[in-house]
Amino acid sequence: MEAIKLLAGIGEPPLGRLTHYRALDTSFREIKIKKDPGCALCGNNPSITKPISYQTSCDMTPLPEISTQELRQILANGFDGILLDVREQDEYFTAHIEGSQLLPLSGWPDVAMNLPKDAKYYVHCAKGMRSARAGTWMLQNGFTDVTNVAGGMVAWLADEA
């Protein structure tokens, strides 16, 4: 609603204030926010003066993904890289893909920095979210060939059923 008011040039938007709505008792509270003089957008010396492209400014390389069926074919053909399991140890002991290397995401980034950066990696977790986070981190930190396994162990085990 506040964005519409700003775009339409009507009403009084809460600039410099935060409006807090509490649904339990239908109450509102207004909090004044002090301007940050070091803000890159609205501070004393702004460095952002025009719209920016997140594609170029964030250097986000898209993380390739494969299905668990594709991973099965790759492993059957003699995969020569590293299959990285980023789940926790108890999850790994419950079920894991033969030949996978356990490196829990909770130990990152310290432990991951010791991995060879030029190897081919397939990264998986339970459903594909933690492995996507790990794979994205790897690409942003100099690893050259990283692929996420979509669906993770849940999809892997469902394929066996």
Number of structural domains in the chain: 2
**pLDDT tens-digit map of 41-52:** 788 888 878 876
**pLDDT tens-digit map of 121-139:** 999 999 999 999 999 999 9
- Asked if 44 and 73 sit in the same domain, the reply is no
Question: What residue numbers bound the domain in which 107 lies?
Answer: 65-160
**Does residue 56 fall inside a structural domain?**
no
> Residue 146: which CATH number?
3.40.250.10
**Does residue 89 fall inside a structural domain?**
yes
Residues 47-85 as b or e (16 or more Cβ within 10 Å = b): eeeeeeeeeeeeeeeebeebebeebeebeeeeeeebbbb
- Asked if 36 and 92 sit in the same domain, the reply is no
**Does residue 57 fall inside a structural domain?**
no
- Asked if 77 and 128 sit in the same domain, the reply is yes
- Asked if 139 and 81 sit in the same domain, the reply is yes
**pLDDT tens-digit map of 65-116:** 999 999 999 999 998 899 999 999 999 999 999 999 999 999 888 889 889 9
pLDDT band at 54 (very low <50, low <70, confident <90, very high): low
Three-state secondary structure call for residue 21: strand
- Asked if 105 and 26 sit in the same domain, the reply is no
Out of 11-15, 84-88, 141-145, which region has the weakest mean confidence (pLDDT)?
A: 11-15
Look at the pTM and tell me if it is higher than 0.85: no
